[in-house]
Amino acid sequence: MSAPVQETTEQAAQRQKPQSPRRAVRIGICGLGTVGSGTVNVLARNAEQIAARCGRAVEIVQIGARRDNPACDTSALNVTREIFDVAANPEVDILVELVGGTTVARELVLAAIANGKHIVTANKALIAEHGNELFAAATEMGVTIAYEAAVAGGIPIIKSLREGLVGNRIQWLAGIINGTGNYILTEMRDKGRSFAEALAQAQQLGYAEADPTFDVEGIDAAHKLVIMASLAFGIPLAFDKVYTEGISGISSEDIRYADELGYRIKHLGIARRTEQGVELRVHPTLIPQRRLIANVNGVMNAVLVNGDAVGPTLYYGAGAGAEATASAVIADIVDVARTLEAFPDQRVPAAGVAPGNQNGASVLPMDEVVTSYYLRISAQDKPGVMSQVAKICSDQGISIEALIQHEPAEGKALVPVVILTSRAKEARLREAVAQIETLDTVEGEVVRIRVEPLG
Ligand code: HSE
């Protein structure tokens, strides 16, 4: 063993000398809507604490905003309508992209990267659809892209996946990652509202995206899911491969039957690692009422992540809103600021996988996915219907695990028959449903909702 090296007096003095404060990190914010205004407000309110934690002050040197009336005080700030000026401003270290959309936002971010700026963004569509290209550009320029605010608002799920769970092989994750959808399903269940009424209410409260089909048809959730899956499984972003089904077909009747069976209907984004490939799917799902995540209601988000070492972990919080999202934007600004002078390879990698690496990118086709199913069949109240349905299922290797059939309502010829099936491949189940729909005794389409035990 070598002898300990003796510290010289000069070295000790150097060590004890108070460090001179590091210069402020200079940010440029593009977009002053809900999240932009929230970010300006929280940065001002908590400036001292943020500077202490960051080891340097955070200074807003320029704001690019194309519209008036922000919900924050900009009187002392340098505001321009030309957002591309922010990307070119030599004073800016970090460009905070909060303009939304994918066209201008992509050009803005690429311009800023080309000018050597780090990026913080809350834009899930941008990362999900163009992330592979943007990460490659950032790597080339030795800058980073931080996007905590893109997924589940204020919940630090990106940091958890990338850092907190880094020692795990993540097996699956499942999340309620669209607050609007969760609000609608909760209102339908708790207040008996129709889908349309609950959606109108969510829009009034400002939860829904500009185009609410992004929320109710699962596109917003699909954006967030691919970002999490990329980090969890170390695969490239594959937005075009996500199976996406919305909640517009869910009825109050199904919510009641699910309750009767001991389940809740939630709109989930699910990513699972299998031998054959990665499952990437967004759809309404029956989950057992006893699971914590089944009790996440209203506009709240939650993500359940199952790692081989840690087991199941649950992250819960506000998935949208000005200050909740600002919380994540500022966490990213602080993270980037802390490593501003570091070499690129000393930073936590931004992407789930090195640009250009396609390993593990194979996504399992939906036909191969195995789940259980809730089926609701409108059948005539005649002898033999149940045995016909049971035979079709059994011919496809599917067994019936639970069944509800109440007496028909007075004067009604049709009765709803509700079935929970065993686990089966999607293709088998689809074939069984197609055959059930051709029976003379069955009317209309069979309602089908996937079931996940999440345990
Ligand atoms: N419309 C989104 C939601 C906002 O309802 O969750 C945050 O992405």
pLDDT digits (tens, 9 = 90+) for 420-443: 999 999 999 999 999 999 999 999
* Confidence check: pLDDT of 3 > 60: no
Mean pLDDT over 79-97 rounds to: 98
Mean pLDDT over 279-302 rounds to: 97
Establish whether residue 183 lines the binding site of ligand 1, counting it when its CB lies within 6 angstroms of any ligand atom: no
| Selected catalytic residue, list 117, 224, 241, 266 | 224
* Confidence check: pLDDT of 290 > 80: yes
For ligand 1, the distance from its centroid to the CA atom of residue 27, given in whole angstroms, is 25
Active site residue 159: no
What pLDDT, in 10s, does the model give residues 132-183? 999 999 999 999 999 999 999 999 999 999 999 999 999 999 999 999 999 9
CATH top class, domain 369-451: alpha beta
What pLDDT, in 10s, does the model give residues 239-260? 999 999 999 999 999 999 999 9
Ligand 1: which atom is nearest the Cα of residue 320? 7
Test site for ligand 1: of 215, 223, 226, 268, most ligand atoms within 8 A of the Cβ:
215
> Which of residues 5 and 401 earns the better pLDDT score?
401
For ligand 1, the distance from its centroid to the CA atom of residue 322, given in whole angstroms, is 11
Establish whether residue 215 lines the binding site of ligand 1, counting it when its CB lies within 6 angstroms of any ligand atom: yes
What pLDDT, in 10s, does the model give residues 194-210? 898 999 888 888 777 77
Establish whether residue 369 lines the binding site of ligand 1, counting it when its CB lies within 6 angstroms of any ligand atom: no
Percent of the chain with pLDDT over 90: 83
* Confidence check: pLDDT of 7 > 80: no
Establish whether residue 179 lines the binding site of ligand 1, counting it when its CB lies within 6 angstroms of any ligand atom: yes
Residues annotated within the binding site for L-homoserine are: 209
Token pair 């007496």 is found at 407
Ranges of each domain in the chain: 21-154+324-346, 157-318, 369-451
Most confident of the ranges 18-32, 58-72, 79-93, 185-199: 79-93
Establish whether residue 139 lines the binding site of ligand 1, counting it when its CB lies within 6 angstroms of any ligand atom: no
Establish whether residue 269 lines the binding site of ligand 1, counting it when its CB lies within 6 angstroms of any ligand atom: no
Establish whether residue 212 lines the binding site of ligand 1, counting it when its CB lies within 6 angstroms of any ligand atom: no
Name the average pLDDT for the chain.
93
- Please tell me the predicted confidence (pLDDT) of residue 4: 53
Residues annotated within the binding site for NADPH are: 124
Mean pLDDT lowest for which of 119-133, 226-240, 298-312, 346-360? 346-360
Establish whether residue 180 lines the binding site of ligand 1, counting it when its CB lies within 6 angstroms of any ligand atom: yes
Instruction: Say if residues 106 and 134 touch (Cβ distance below 8 Å).
Output: yes
* Confidence check: pLDDT of 19 > 90: no
Test site for ligand 1: of 209, 217, 224, most ligand atoms within 8 A of the Cβ:
209
Establish whether residue 319 lines the binding site of ligand 1, counting it when its CB lies within 6 angstroms of any ligand atom: yes
- Please tell me the predicted confidence (pLDDT) of residue 438: 97
Mean pLDDT over 210-236 rounds to: 94
Q: Rounded to an integer, what distance in angstroms lies between the CA atom of residue 275 and that of residue 173?
A: 16
- Please tell me the predicted confidence (pLDDT) of residue 169: 96
Test site for ligand 1: of 126, 201, 204, 220, most ligand atoms within 8 A of the Cβ:
220
Mean pLDDT over 86-114 rounds to: 97
Ligand 1: which atom is nearest the Cα of residue 181? 5
Test site for ligand 1: of 98, 201, 207, most ligand atoms within 8 A of the Cβ:
207
Mean pLDDT over 337-348 rounds to: 92
Which CATH number does 157-318 carry? 3.30.360.10
Q: Does domain 21-154+324-346 have CATH number 3.40.50.720?
A: yes
Mean pLDDT over 17-29 rounds to: 82
Protein residue whose Cα sits closest to atom 8 of ligand 1:
320
**Could you give the angle at the alpha carbon of 322 between the alpha carbons of 317 and 328, nearest 5°?**
55
For ligand 1, the distance from its centroid to the CA atom of residue 160, given in whole angstroms, is 20
For ligand 1, the distance from its centroid to the CA atom of residue 57, given in whole angstroms, is 30
Instruction: Say if residues 149 and 122 touch (Cβ distance below 8 Å).
Output: yes
Establish whether residue 220 lines the binding site of ligand 1, counting it when its CB lies within 6 angstroms of any ligand atom: yes
Ligand 1: which atom is nearest the Cα of residue 177? 6
Token pair 């592979």 is found at 132
Residues annotated within the binding site for NADP(+) are: 30-37
φ, ψ for residue 408, nearest 5 deg: -65, 145
* Confidence check: pLDDT of 1 > 50: no
Q: Rounded to an integer, what distance in angstroms lies between the CA atom of residue 345 and that of residue 138?
A: 12
- Please tell me the predicted confidence (pLDDT) of residue 381: 87
For ligand 1, the distance from its centroid to the CA atom of residue 257, given in whole angstroms, is 28
Q: Rounded to an integer, what distance in angstroms lies between the CA atom of residue 156 and that of residue 313?
A: 13
Strands 277-288 and 263-274: antiparallel
